[in-house]
């Protein structure tokens, strides 16, 4: 029989420990976000549909994006036991300089449309965290403005080769003059991908006040207040900003971009140069032979060619082909610090986050970006401790198995025949 007693008032009082209420609404909602997925939900509630869908969406059926995220979920870790890792070192040297974490902020276009603090919030948060920040050619803050926001940290610049080559050349010179140390020469955007959410939403730059956007704005007056009471959007390279995103990209980009353009930019750029948008082993080897400083395995976040290769799946083959003495970075689909740990284990020197950063930005401005970085840092450290590793250098392919979901037909037939 369970012995029962009259409740003791003193014991009840010990249990009644109420938290001090948080009166700051932004801090309250950000503190409640425990994952990047939580930040995404907050961002969706606080951002007009067209701007959120521009960030969240991808090309056509959005298969590339969903497959990239699924690839990270289809990971099995293999922890080592009785290997204490009470303290972990998440720092890394990348492209001639330090980063406190194995990820940086990827280039994103039209960033102030998501939330008015835009690139200033991203650069400031990167500076505070000791990680690199990458400014897009289509950013809404100038090269010099980002330098002011991150005067002592590492700034990188992402370059599109435009139809008017002189625009690209001048941007390259400005970034070099501002002390940006690495150039991301982007090769996967000869034309714009078919971003159907934007077309269906009638999304344009800048946003147009229509009946639909007004109705959508009613529950989000703060977004429109910020948009209408802050300086007009300014782009790093485009003087004309009217039209859909696809129209702007098609007007600016040049499908004739080639190795000759790369040679010209290399003559102009004094720092390190990496090629962003690499999607095959063969191109990885050609670029290494061409003498660039590194590559970014990327399908542009699934926003260009739908059904493009999954960068995380491509990573082990590329690392094996190019060897250990060549910088390989990866983006697309990263939503958890464990995704970053798995990437490093399989050969990535560094990773870049795009949407994860923007979800934080939309959820809470600069404080939201800080929260994104804090969440990923915590997940990285916890995953490393659970694997039994103290440094990123200890991570190796044996820590990770990529579980098979999509198998090429030829390979599947060979394996069946072998049985």
Higher pLDDT, 199 or 245: 199
pLDDT computed for residue 104 by the predictor = 98
Residue range 143-163: average pLDDT? 94
Residue range 257-267: average pLDDT? 95
First to last CA, the chain: 61
Q: What band does 202 get if pLDDT is binned at 50, 70 and 90?
A: confident
Of 184, 300, 313, 399, which residue is the catalytic one?
300
pLDDT computed for residue 86 by the predictor = 84
Q: Could you read off the pLDDT of 366-406 as tens digits, one per residue?
A: 999 999 999 999 999 999 999 999 999 999 999 999 998 77
Helix (H) or strand (E) holding 77: strand 75-77
pLDDT computed for residue 243 by the predictor = 58
Measured CA distances, 214 to 40, 74, 110 (Å):
23, 41, 21
Q: What band does 254 get if pLDDT is binned at 50, 70 and 90?
A: confident
How does the average pLDDT of the chain come out, rounded?
A: 90
CA 409 to chain centre: 31
* Domain extents in the chain: 26-402
Q: What band does 190 get if pLDDT is binned at 50, 70 and 90?
A: confident
184 a catalytic residue: no
Higher pLDDT, 249 or 381: 381
Rg of the Cα atoms in the chain: 23
Q: Could you read off the pLDDT of 71-95 as tens digits, one per residue?
A: 999 999 999 888 888 899 999 999 9
Residue range 179-199: average pLDDT? 91
Q: What band does 412 get if pLDDT is binned at 50, 70 and 90?
A: low
Higher pLDDT, 167 or 101: 101
Residue range 219-234: average pLDDT? 79
Interatomic CA distance for residues 225 and 407, integer angstroms: 49
Q: Could you read off the pLDDT of 18-77 as tens digits, one per residue?
A: 778 888 888 999 999 999 999 999 999 999 888 899 999 999 999 999 999 999 999 999
Do 216 and 48 contact (CB within 8 A), yes or no?
yes
186 pLDDT more than 80: yes
Could you give the 3-state DSSP secondary structure of residue 120? helix
Could you say which of 3.20.20.70, 1.10.599.10, 3.50.50.60, 3.40.109.10 is the CATH number of the domain covering 26-402? Answer: 3.20.20.70
Q: Could you read off the pLDDT of 99-151 as tens digits, one per residue?
A: 999 999 999 988 998 999 999 999 999 999 999 999 999 899 999 999 999 99
Contacts of residue 356, Cβ cutoff 8 Å, sequence gap at least 6:
36, 39, 334, 335, 372, 376
Contacts of residue 301, Cβ cutoff 8 Å, sequence gap at least 6:
58, 65, 331, 332, 333, 354, 355
């Amino acid at each position: 029989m369970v012995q029962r007693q009259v409740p003791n008032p003193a014991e009840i009082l010990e249990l009644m420990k109420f938290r001090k209420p948080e009166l700051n609404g932004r801090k309250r909602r950000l503190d409640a976000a425990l994952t990047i997925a939580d930040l995404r939900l907050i961002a969706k509630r606080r951002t007009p549909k067209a701007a959120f869908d521009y960030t969240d969406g991808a090309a056509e059926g959005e298969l590339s994006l969903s497959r990239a995220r699924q690839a990270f979920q289809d990971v099995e870790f293999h922890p080592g036991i009785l290997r204490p890792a009470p303290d972990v070192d998440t720092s890394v040297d990348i492209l001639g300089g330090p980063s406190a974490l194995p990820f940086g902020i990827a280039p994103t276009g039209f960033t102030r449309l998501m939330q008015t603090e835009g690139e200033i919030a991203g650069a400031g948060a990167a500076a505070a965290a000791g990680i690199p920040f990458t400014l897009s050619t289509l950013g809404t803050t100038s090269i010099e403005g980002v330098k002011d926001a991150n005067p002592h940290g590492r700034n990188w610049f992402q370059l599109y080769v435009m139809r008017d080559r002189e625009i690209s050349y001048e941007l390259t010179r400005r970034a070099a003059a501002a002390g940006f140390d690495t150039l991301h020469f982007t090769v996967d955007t000869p034309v714009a991908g078919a971003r159907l959410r934007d077309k269906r939403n009638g999304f344009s730059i800048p946003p147009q006040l229509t009946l639909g956007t007004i109705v959508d704005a009613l529950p989000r007056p703060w977004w429109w207040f910020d948009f209408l009471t802050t300086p007009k959007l300014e782009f790093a390279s485009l003087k004309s900003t009217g039209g859909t995103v696809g129209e702007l990209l098609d007007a600016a980009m040049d499908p004739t971009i080639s190795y000759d353009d790369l040679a010209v930019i290399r003559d102009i750029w004094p720092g390190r140069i990496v090629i962003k948008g690499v999607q095959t082993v063969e191109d990885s080897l050609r670029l290494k032979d061409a003498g660039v400083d590194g590559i970014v395995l990327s399908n542009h976040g699934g926003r260009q060619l739908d059904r493009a290769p999954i960068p995380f799946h491509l990573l082990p083959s590329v690392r094996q082909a190019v060897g250990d003495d060549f910088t390989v970075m990866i983006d697309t689909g990263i939503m958890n610090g464990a995704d970053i740990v798995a990437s490093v284990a399989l050969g990535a020197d560094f990773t870049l986050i795009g949407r994860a950063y923007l979800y934080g930005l939309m959820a809470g401005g600069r404080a939201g970006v800080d929260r994104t970085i804090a969440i990923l840092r915590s997940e990285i450290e916890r995953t490393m401790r659970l694997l039994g590793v103290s440094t990123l250098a200890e991570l190796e392919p044996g820590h990770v198995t990529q579980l098979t979901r999509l198998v090429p037909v030829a390979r599947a037939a060979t394996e069946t025949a072998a049985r």
